[in-house]
Amino acid sequence: MNSNPVRSILAVLAGFVVLSFVAQVMELALAGTVSGGDVAGYEEYFAVMNRPAMQAARLGAYVVAAVLGGYVAARVAGLAEMPHALAAAALQVLTLLGGMTGEYGAFTPRWLWAALIVGTVPAMLLGAAVRARARRAGTA
């Protein structure tokens, strides 16, 4: 990865945190917008989020957040962008697997869990590739 292990760890964690935070904020904004305000409790939240259009929006928002997370991991790493984004993606996949098997995992359809898990790695690598290309071109 990087010759500086602290920077490598920070890069992986930064990509993971950005993805998680941005995805959650976008998801809550979608739920709040569709429900007309605050969503009271998990039952109401999942009733809103499990509508077909909302599932598609959730998946799209997640992909955007994952691309951004991959970019941030690569930016913080400075070098070896792809391995850092891949490590952040692996951490996110483990988190998704934990969420899928956790207390609220049954509220989200299995196909959506699978799509989130499968989409994590390519989306984060895309973000890292954008950053790597910009670095090589001298534009970032």
Report the number of distinct structural domains present in the chain. 1
Say which amino acid occupies 65.
Answer: A
pTM of the predicted model as reported, rounded to 2 decimal places: 0.92
Q: Above 80 in pLDDT, residue 95?
A: yes
Lowest-confidence segment of 21-30, 38-47, 60-69, 98-107 by average pLDDT: 38-47
Report the largest interatomic distance among the alpha carbons of the chain, rounded to a whole angstrom.
50
Over residues 12-26, the mean pLDDT reads: 96
Find the range with the poorest average confidence among 36-45, 61-70, 116-125.
36-45
* Band of pLDDT at residue 34, cut at 50, 70 and 90: confident
Cα(104)–Cα(68) distance, integer angstroms: 26
pLDDT of residue 73: 98
User: How many other C-beta atoms lie within 10 A of the C-beta of residue 138?
Assistant: 6
Q: Which residue has the tokens 């957040």?
A: 65
Q: For a pLDDT cut of 70, what percent of the chain falls above it?
A: 98
pLDDT score recorded for residue 2: 61
What pLDDT is attached to residue 46? 84
Residue 120 or 37, more confident:
120
Asked whether residue 86 carries a pLDDT value surpassing 90, the answer given is yes
Over range 24-32, report the average pLDDT: 89
Distance between CA atoms of 33 and 133, rounded to whole angstroms? 36
* Contact present, 7 and 77 (Cβ < 8 Å): yes
Nearest to 123 by CA among 25, 36, 23, 2: 23
Residue 140 pLDDT: 66
- CA 111, 50, 93, 80 torsion-angle sign: positive
Cα→Cα distances 135→12, 14, 104, 111, Å? 18, 18, 41, 36
Mean pLDDT confidence for 84-108: 93
Enclosing domain of residue 70: 5-137
DSSP state of 109: -
